[in-house]
Structure formats: structure tokens, C-alpha cells
Structure 1
Amino acid sequence: MDRPDCDPVRLERTYAQFPLINAVVSGWRRNYRRYVRPVLAGRDGGTVLDIGSGGGDLARALVRWARQDGLAVEVTGIDPDPRAHAYAESRPKVPGLTFRAAFSSQLVAEGQRFDVVLSNHVLHHLDAGAFEGLLTDSQALARSLVLHSDIERSPWAYGLFSAGTLPFFHGSYIRTDGLTSIRRSYTAAELAAAVPAGWETRRQRPWQNLLLHRSGQ
């Protein structure tokens, strides 16, 4: 789905199916409760940046969860892919939610800051230079907390995802790209070795890695 010449119909179906697959495998409800909500509660609300927001399902969920907890939140989702941005913008508008077609480096250049900076399943898409740039940008953009969650490479994860998605998600890229993503992802040890000092790597179930950085600003 990253290819510029991919089937636009299958791509749109993929964006439409992301909320379901992310709800099952990504663990962001847990991450919100454990990491994001305490930061927002301590500030009586706040701002969140979702880097590589894709179709926007995580950004929308973050707004919904925060408001269920009585927290005022402003969430910005950024993605440099114009197709992802167009899809996110085509969904019903949500107060407090903004999407931009942008790289994180553009927001750094603008002097933007957010209480929480996060991403979901972005790290395995990046080469070494882009990976380092994302971490540097994240630290510059975050006042309090950075969370980057990604798949952990595992033969069990690959086998179960392959079997579990086989009867479903026809006509989209969910299964084929999901399997490719698992193959390209880091193990926990590889991820820990790739990050600079100040970053913490945590393993989460099922087969997720979490990069965490606290700035305390």
C-alpha cells in the first residue's frame, strides 16, 4: 500500500479496515490508559500529535477516549502520503481533531510543541536515517512524553496473523502488507540496540514493542 501505483480501491478499503485490525492487535487502549491519560489528566487536558496517522483511526480514538474521561484534548494527525490525508479528511469531522499532510520535520521547523507525541506501526517502514530523524523530531516536539508502538517480529506473530486474517480482509492490503510488516519489524533486542540513550524499550503482548521517552518539560 506504500507504492504510489497501488490500487486506489483496495487502498481505501485498507484504510476503512484499519480500525478493526488496530483494535485487535495494536493495544492502544491500554497505552492510552497507562501512559497518555496520566499526562493529560495532570494538565487537565492537552495536545497530542499522531505521526504517520494513516486513515486517522487512532487519532479519532484518542479524542473519543479522552472525552469519555472528561479531558479536553486537541489531537493532530500528520501523514506525508496525500492519499492517507485525503481519506482521513473525508471522514466525518470531529471537534478537536486536525489532520495535516506533513512530515514531523515540518512541525519542528514551525516550532510546534505537543504534550504527547506518538505513532503506531511506523518504525518498521523507516530506513536508518529516517528512524533517527523520527526520534530526534519526536523529542523536539514533545513536552512530556513520546510513545512509538510497533509490531515485534516473531514467527508466532507471523503464523497467527497469516492464519487469522486468511478468511477476512479480501479486497484490501491488510493481510499482504501486514505479513510484510511483521517480516520487516524489529525484535525487542534489535530495537533496544537501535535507539540512543534516554529511550526505553518495552515489550508488550501480543507481539508489540513500545519505545518510550519522557522529557519532563
Structure 2
Amino acid sequence: MDLRHRDVDLRELMDDPDCDPVALAATLRRFDVVNRAVSGWGTVWRRHLRPALARLDRPARVLDIGSGGGDVTARLAGLAERDGLRVEWLGIDPDPRALAVARERARPGVEFRSTDSTALRATGERFDAVISNHVLHHLGEPELRSFLDDSLALSTGLVLHADIERGRTAYALYAAGILPLQRGTFLRTDGLRSIRRSYRAPELRLSLARHGTWHVLRPAPFRLLAVGSGRA
């Protein structure tokens, strides 16, 4: 497997509008287990998001763009509640199939809508922080420009975009580690394709440098975090 360069021509099975709906729903539901194990959001919450929201000393609003099945949104909402922070969470995704799964995780203070960042920006809504998980590697250059611009325009504070860091070790560990969870889902095929589409840190820094001031960190093994400051 040649992982020296991003394979941007790969398409994930779950992005096919005609994919198996049962397997898609199972994939979206089981992402919760995968993301808890490898996404590094616990660290991102402790080091970045929680301190920023706590400084507000008032109820906060956080937007999750491309929230998929809603597991990251719901997990962070649980962490905020545990830590005594008052936060309203909104997850958005243009795919109604994802919305159907995400709404299983909705509760007071946690809402999901079928829309995208450009449409939401046009409504004039603003948030104290904007986040995403596993969105960057899906985007071509024109889409990336629009996505970053929207996320900065929607936030009055932090913007945090988390993704995978491409590499041989990440590929090998995921290929083996996902086996117990893959049955009836797209987790193995799509996860490996995601790694092949993803950035390495220098590549992401170079790409983001064309679109404003961003810092790229490694919050956990095989993870990248793009950090920006909103301009809303």
C-alpha cells in the first residue's frame, strides 16, 4: 500500500446515495465505539474546548458541522454536563440518512438538523465554538475553502477541525483492530479509505495556509487538529 500521497480519488461506500441503508445505519451507530477509542476528543475537550467554554461564564452554543450519526456531538454534550457547563449543541449534516441516526441521540440541549454550513451561515446564526470530525479529508480544494470560510464566519471563538493523520502504522493498526466491529458495516473498508484520503501534518498545514491562519496539532496518536479563531 502506497501511503506517500493522498488518494483523493477514493470514494467511501457510505457516501454512495445507493449504498445499503441497513449497513449505513449500523456504521453510523457503531462510529461511537470507534471514535471513543481513537478520535482523541476527550483530550481536545480537556485542553481546548472546555477551557474556552468555561471562560464565557454563561450558557454557550457549539456547532458540529458534518455531525454524521451524532456520536461526537452527544459525547461532548455528556462531558459538558459532567463538568457542570451549560452548553447547547447543534449537529448539522446534509445527509437525511445520517440525520435519522443522529436524532436517536437528541435530547434537551442536543439538536440535529439536516443542513450544511453555507445554508446555516446564511440564516445569521452564530456559535461560541465550531467543530468537525473527519470532514477535512472528504473535501476537494474548492469545498475546503468554502468549509473553512463558513466555519470561521459561524464562530465567535474557537474553530476545531479534527481528522486522521495518514500513515502506515495507523493503516495497519486500524485494519487489524476494526475486525471485531466490522460485521454488517462499512467500518473497515471506509476507515481504510479514509486513512488513504487523509493528510499528513505538513500537507494539512500547507493546505490550510491558503485559507487564513490555522495551527495544526497532534492531540492523540494518528490524529490531527486544525485550530482557528472565529471571526463572527
> Shorter-chain TM-score: what band?
over 0.9
Q: Is the 8 A contact 2:70 2:105 kept in 1?
A: no
Match of 1:10 in 2: 23
- Which whole-Å CA distance do the structure 2 matches of 1:216 and 1:180 have between them? 33
The letter of the residue matching 2:29 is: A
- Which whole-Å CA distance do the structure 1 matches of 2:105 and 2:100 have between them? 12
Runs of 4+ in 1 over 6 A off after TM superposition: none
Instruction: Quickly say closer, same or farther: Cα 1:187–1:94, change in 2 above 3 A.
Output: same
Q: CA deviation digits over 1:3-36, x for unaligned, max 9?
A: 0010011111101101100001100011011111
Q: Is the 8 A contact 2:155 2:231 kept in 1?
A: no
Q: CA deviation digits over 1:26-84, x for unaligned, max 9?
A: 00011011111111111123010000000001111111111111111000000001100
Task: Please state how far the C-alpha of 1:216 moved relative to its aligned partner.
Answer: 7.4
Match of 2:183 in 1: 170
- Which whole-Å CA distance do the structure 2 matches of 1:42 and 1:52 have between them? 26
Task: Please state how far the C-alpha of 1:204 moved relative to its aligned partner.
Answer: 3.1
**Unmatched tracts of structure 1, length 5 or more:** none
Alignment TM-score, normalising by the size of structure 1: 0.96
Instruction: Quickly say closer, same or farther: Cα 1:135–1:93, change in 2 above 3 A.
Output: closer
- Which whole-Å CA distance do the structure 2 matches of 1:186 and 1:117 have between them? 21
Match of 1:213 in 2: 228
The answer on 1:68 being equivalent to 2:99 is no
Correspondence for 2:73 among 59, 63, 66: 59
Written as runs of structure 1 = structure 2, the 5 A alignment for 1:121-140 is 121-140=134-153
Alignment TM-score, normalising by the size of structure 2: 0.90
The letter of the residue matching 1:77 is: G
SS in 2 for 1:197: coil
Instruction: Quickly say closer, same or farther: Cα 1:134–1:92, change in 2 above 3 A.
Output: closer
Identity %: 50
- Which whole-Å CA distance do the structure 1 matches of 2:61 and 2:106 have between them? 18
Q: CA deviation digits over 1:165-204, x for unaligned, max 9?
A: 1243211011110000000001101000001331111123
Written as runs of structure 1 = structure 2, the 5 A alignment for 1:1-217 is 1-44=14-57, 45-89=59-103, 91-195=104-208, 196-215=211-230
- Greater relative contact order: 1 or 2 (C-alpha under 8 angstroms, separation 6 or more)? 2
Task: Please state how far the C-alpha of 1:164 moved relative to its aligned partner.
Answer: 1.2
- Which stretch shows the higher mean deviation, 175-184 or 93-102? 93-102
CA RMSD of the aligned region, Å? 1.2
The letter of the residue matching 1:48 is: V
Task: Please state how far the C-alpha of 1:92 moved relative to its aligned partner.
Answer: 4.9
The letter of the residue matching 1:50 is: D
Instruction: Quickly say closer, same or farther: Cα 1:32–1:77, change in 2 above 3 A.
Output: same
**Unmatched tracts of structure 2, length 5 or more:** 1-13
- Which whole-Å CA distance do the structure 2 matches of 1:22 and 1:92 have between them? 15
Match of 2:7 in 1: none
